[in-house]
Amino acid sequence: MSFLDLVLKKRNGEKLMPEEIDFLVEKYVAGEIPDYQMSAFLMAVYFNSMDGEETVKLTEAMADSGDRLDLSGVEGFKVDKHSSGGVGDSVSLVLVPLVGAVGLKIGKLSGRGLGHTGGTIDKLESIPGFRVSLSTQEFLTGMESDGMAIMEHTSDLVPADQKLYELRDVTGTVESLPLIVSSIMSKKIACGPDGVVLDIKSGAGAIMKEFDRAKELAQGCVDIGKEVGLNVTALITDMNQPLGRAVGNSLEVREAIKVLKDETSGDLREVTVNLVAELLLQSEKVDSMEEGVNQAEDKLASGLALEKFKRLIENQGGNPEVIEDPNLLPTGENRAEIQLEEEGYVSKLDALKIGRAANTLGAGRQEKGEEIDRAVGIEIEKKIGDELTASEPVARIHYNDDSNLEEAKRLIRDAFSISPSPSSAPELIKERIR
């Protein structure tokens, strides 16, 4: 079998056979196909796509490219969650302990941030001592004893995805739907859960900016789940403005703690409890979304979710005192308030520009392996629909190095649009696909 023949076949829009896809994945992971040739194949897929059968086979071949987690020793309904990435999205920090609190078992493998989207692992590493590199046994023990564990992706799980993702990132092929679907679902399959909930973002700060493309991605993932016998639900959620009011690693940890303490409401909380409710529905612990949301809200109000977060931190070597004393988290030395000349109501808040501003301050990375500043970021004071007077700030910058401060200020100001009359906030949960 010739790799070049397969590239030409896909370039010409022809369908690949299952054994041909197995060949591609196996040889690339083994290092027998160089990056420059695989880049040509990825571009051929980008332009000519793959049909449903090809995408299922690619997903399965990627899932089988390394080890699979064996969760058979963990009692109960095991779940997982994935987000397609956004700005101010600290959902996992709230969701993991909340899932533990409602009696499900979650083993979450997460990644680091790249570009304008934050990474859950970077945020957790803001907590002094928190370990994100766990042995398989530590991971399983956390799930069994407290219902939750979270760690960084390991190279022995779905190595095909790790190699292909890095190549897609530098070859302009990230937005190919079959490649995104296979990337997401191969990791979920390899982790062995009973149920999965997906948070697919749509809007200015999302990979899939158009709703129709986000829906196509969500449906593709749900369809893959059906083909392989995995219960998958997808929520399409808004990412036109930042989800939370904090953008930046330690700032997002602070906001997540406030939600877990039942001290704040808002979009971050609403999306999280809805995702947890979907998992409760899958597990048949509840009969309706309303019952699931109520159960999740009850665990926040009772303090059990906060207690679970404390246990998670303790289990993974972190300092649980950050819950009562957030100043133990990395803190920027300086503050700068951003004010606008206009008065009125916020009609637009561009999530992408806010994400880029945080990145400019040092909160994110442009290349894998870059050092980031976990203390810096942006607090959003006004979101869409909020009233603004001339004396009020729309945002507050936390920074250490002022070398890019003016650029960050410009991006934040450009992110806001003000109108004389109130505007409705975008619909937060646009659609559910089960």
Q: What is the DSSP string of 143-173?
A: HHHHSEEEEE--TTB-HHHHHHHHHHHTTT-
- Decide if 398 is catalytic: no
Mark whether 212 is an active-site residue: no
Backbone angles phi, psi at 154, to 5 degrees: -105, 155
Q: Number of helices (H) and strands (E) in the chain: give both, helices first.
A: 16, 13
Q: Which of 57, 112, 163, 187 is catalytic?
A: 187
Instruction: Kindly name the residue from 22, 161, 238, 373 that is annotated as catalytic.
Output: 161
Residue tagged active-site, from 81, 168, 258, 308: 168
Label the pairing between strands 195-202 and 344-349: unpaired
- Point out which residues pair with 396 in neighbouring strands: 337, 379
Of 92, 183, 186, 250, which is the active-site residue? 183
d(CA 382, CA 416): 9
- Whether 374 sits among the annotated catalytic residues: the reply is no
Catalytic residue among 10, 57, 81, 82: 82
Task: Provide the 10 A C-beta neighbour count for residue 206.
Answer: 28
DSSP run (H or E) holding 334: strand 334-338
Phi, psi of 334 (to 5 degrees): -130, 160
Contact 292, 233 (CB under 8 A): no
Active site residue 168: yes
User: Is 183 considered catalytic here?
Assistant: yes
Residues 6+ apart with CB under 8 A from 140: 69, 71, 73, 74, 107, 149
Give the residue numbers marked as catalytic: 82, 161, 168, 183, 187
